[in-house]
A and B are shown apart, each in its own frame.
Chain A
Amino acid sequence: MSNIYQPDLMTIAKVINEAPGIKTFHLKFQDEEVANNFSFETGQFGEYSAFGAGESTFCIASSPTRPDHIECCFRETGKNTAALANLTEGDTIGFRGPYGNTFPIDDWKGKKLIFIGGGIALPPLRSVIWNCLDLREQDGRYEHISIVYGAKSVADLVYKREIEEWNEMDNVTMVKTVDPGGETEDWDGHVGFVPHVLENDFKPDPENTIAIVCGPPIMIKFTFEALERLGFKQDQMVTTMENRMKCGIGKCGRCNIGSTYVCIDGPVFTATELAALPNDF
């Protein structure tokens, strides 16, 4: 019988230093059969391990429309992320996944999309941003795409090169901001917290729009409140949760919010779904 806790081996094909303490890995499966059978949908996550240190939960930060490799982006915070950060190109890591539900991108056809993220929460959004941009390129399925992204300081912004790429794209509005005090002399973006910039500077029109929010719990809370004041209804607001996990598959018992397990029932939730959950996140 297959061992659900045993990871597949992946090779680090590329390491990108995104920001202080934050790295991106490009990963490729070592086993050809595993590589051929692997597929995922945007919004799903995996368990990534540096052998000898443990496992960590990160979303898959790349888009399923770009299947050459998968990407993850992480901040060095604990034992396993520190061990991962010490690895270099050609090294081996363990990967279990994909797990969890997905962003309902097909339901968003014909709508305007706003992606709102803070700090290290851009990687989960990056997967769905590229997925939606690539699909729109094929069939024009989304009307307009906006990206509102902020970090503590200019140095802390991740995917800096892609922020510029999105900024240059037709039919994409890129709004970037840094927290007060985090700006540099040549900073050409906003200064202010993401929910504040969203509500007071960007002021999106809720008509036929879906807002996809990712960030720490407190940022999600304030952003949802700002969106509601702008006229967004709860079912127009989507987020992805990142509770602490070990197994990722509904067994180890720590990511639950009431009877909802973030690992198997999420990580993607609408604001309507979150509002029905007990206050435990």
Chain B
Amino acid sequence: MKTATLNKSDIGKCIDLLVQSDLRVIAPRLQPRLDDEGTDSIDVLTFTEVDSGNDHQVGEGLLPLNGVKEFLFAKHEPLFAYEKRGKKVEIIPVHHEYPQTVIIGVRPCDAASIASLESVFSDANAGFEDPFFTERRSRTTFITYSCTAPDASCFCTSVDLAPDSSKGSDLHLTELGDGRLHVEVITEAGEAVAKKLEALLEGEGDQAAREKAGASVHEKLTRLRNSAPIMDWLMDTANFDDEMWQRLGEKCIGCGSCTFVCPTCHCFDIVDENKGSKGYRVKFWDSCQFDHFTLHASGHNPRDWQYKRYRNRFNCKFKIYPEKFETQGCVGCGRCIRACPVNLDITEYMAEVAHKAANPNAMKADSDFE
């Protein structure tokens, strides 16, 4: 593997070089947003397109509010247009721009989620390829940045990841603590980007210092859960009717926030946005937490209670993704914990399942509710 070093203060210059190479560059950036009252503006860290290296927060602050999902799987996009003329209908393709893109400053948790989405949208899933996803994926390069600032909601080390993991990365950066970054070329796409940054890269990296720097962040991750037994426990269908689901899930209000901030949630809806005789068929993010999501035309609803909808979400992360799509379902970014208005915590479920798996004969796990 090729390595090099880069001065952290040169990241702005890196962005400039990439922009000058006609690449679309996306980076974490503080963006003003209206506060809850809609009166004052607060700055929120989000991944957003930047047009120069003057204004970015790569490697600074906490995890951006959004993941990188929206740059591969659009929040809302037309699939085609149609026009009705009498008894005939014409389908008109919609032109989508898929610019060559570099996303810089991607956290290892977010980078790991890309393979998860790919397993759903690529033709590896039943032979059907979603071209809107794969066209973007093939034109996007990920420059990841080892996490330096996990917060109290982060739990990547509980799901077999690490704050300095390079999974899903093309070019990986790790702070060495002396103002320099260790640069690792992971893929060919990463190599191509590294070539554009050649003028700023120096010599070889410092592998030992990189390992040490990465390990020091591990210690900051205090929310440790054992995810190893979770899938096995979920595979036993008898546990699908365990009392835990209703007890823990009762407070869920079904707002869907967890699913919209989740980097691996892939559910969407398809509807026609029609005006007169013309319109677009559009695909947009949906959530398995909504009551009508699985509602049959007959009125029957397989997930007729909110706890059943949250049970599906948990199963999707720890059973369905690994079993069906053979990939990781939860990357431990903690966004669902931060976003939840009623403090529903996925790691509480993880701990409870691990406890139940370790104590199969116990009627109930220890809980405050007993």
Chain B residues with Cβ under 8 A from A52's Cβ? 82, 84, 272, 274, 277, 279
Contact of A243 among B126, B134, B294 (CB under 8 A): B294
* Residue A35 CB within 8 A of the other chain: no
Proximity string of chain B (276-314) to chain A, C-beta cutoff 8 Å, 1 when within and 0 when not? 010101010010100001111110101100001000100
Contact of A6 among B91, B286, B312 (CB under 8 A): B91
Q: Which of A102-110, A162-170, A196-204, A252-260 contacts B (4 or more CB under 8 A)?
A: A252-260
How distant is the Cα of A56 from the Cα of B324 in the complex, in angstroms? 25
Q: Please tell me if the beta carbons of B237 and A4 are within 8 angstroms of each other in the complex.
A: no
* Residue B319 CB within 8 A of the other chain: yes
How distant is the Cα of A253 from the Cα of B269 in the complex, in angstroms? 9
Contact of B131 among A2, A81, A253, A260 (CB under 8 A): A2
Chain A residues with Cβ under 8 A from B243's Cβ? none
Proximity string of chain A (239-253) to chain B, C-beta cutoff 8 Å, 1 when within and 0 when not? 000111011011111
Proximity string of chain B (250-289) to chain A, C-beta cutoff 8 Å, 1 when within and 0 when not? 0000000000000000111111101001010101001010
Contact of B324 among A4, A242, A243, A261 (CB under 8 A): A261
User: How far, in Å, is A3 (CB) from chain B's closest CB?
Assistant: 6
Contact of A253 among B134, B135, B271, B288 (CB under 8 A): B288
Q: Please tell me if the beta carbons of A243 and B296 are within 8 angstroms of each other in the complex.
A: yes
Chain B residues with Cβ under 8 A from A55's Cβ? 270
Chain A residues with Cβ under 8 A from B62's Cβ? none
Q: Please tell me if the beta carbons of B91 and A78 are within 8 angstroms of each other in the complex.
A: no
How distant is the Cα of A91 from the Cα of B85 in the complex, in angstroms? 10
Q: Please tell me if the beta carbons of B131 and A51 are within 8 angstroms of each other in the complex.
A: no
Chain A residues with Cβ under 8 A from B82's Cβ? 51-52
Q: Please tell me if the beta carbons of A251 and B120 are within 8 angstroms of each other in the complex.
A: yes
* Residue A92 CB within 8 A of the other chain: yes
Q: Please tell me if the beta carbons of B320 and A5 are within 8 angstroms of each other in the complex.
A: no
User: How far, in Å, is B203 (CB) from chain A's closest CB?
Assistant: 42
Residue of B nearest to A218 (CB): B300
How distant is the Cα of A244 from the Cα of B334 in the complex, in angstroms? 30
* Residue A264 CB within 8 A of the other chain: yes
Interface size on A, residues (CB 8 A): 52
Residue of A nearest to B296 (CB): A244
How distant is the Cα of A49 from the Cα of B272 in the complex, in angstroms? 10
- Which residues 1-17 of A sit at the B interface, judged by CB distance below 8 A? 1-7, 9, 11
Known contacts A1-B129, A6-B80; is-contact A92 B88 (Cβ 8 Å): yes
Chain B residues with Cβ under 8 A from A9's Cβ? 89, 91
Q: Please tell me if the beta carbons of B241 and A279 are within 8 angstroms of each other in the complex.
A: yes
Q: Please tell me if the beta carbons of B270 and A254 are within 8 angstroms of each other in the complex.
A: no
Interface size on B, residues (CB 8 A): 53
Chain A residues with Cβ under 8 A from B269's Cβ? 246, 252
Chain A residues with Cβ under 8 A from B48's Cβ? none
How distant is the Cα of A252 from the Cα of B268 in the complex, in angstroms? 5
Contact of B130 among A4, A53, A81, A279 (CB under 8 A): A4
User: How far, in Å, is A184 (CB) from chain B's closest CB?
Assistant: 25
Q: Please tell me if the beta carbons of B87 and A258 are within 8 angstroms of each other in the complex.
A: no
Q: Please tell me if the beta carbons of B84 and A279 are within 8 angstroms of each other in the complex.
A: no
Q: Please tell me if the beta carbons of B283 and A53 are within 8 angstroms of each other in the complex.
A: no
How distant is the Cα of A55 from the Cα of B92 in the complex, in angstroms? 17
* Residue A32 CB within 8 A of the other chain: no
Known contacts A250-B128, A258-B237, A280-B240; is-contact A6 B79 (Cβ 8 Å): yes
A selection of 6 A-B contacts at a CB cut-off of 8 Å is: A5-B80, A75-B297, A92-B88, A216-B298, A243-B296, A252-B268
**A interface residues, Cβ below 8 angstroms from B:** 1-7, 9, 11, 49, 51-56, 75, 77-78, 81, 90-92, 94, 216-218, 242-244, 246-247, 249-261, 264, 276-281
**B interface residues, Cβ below 8 angstroms from A:** 79-80, 82, 84, 87-89, 91, 93, 120-121, 125-126, 128-131, 134-135, 237, 240-241, 266-272, 274, 277, 279, 281, 283, 286, 288, 293-298, 300, 302-303, 308, 312, 315-316, 319-320, 323-324
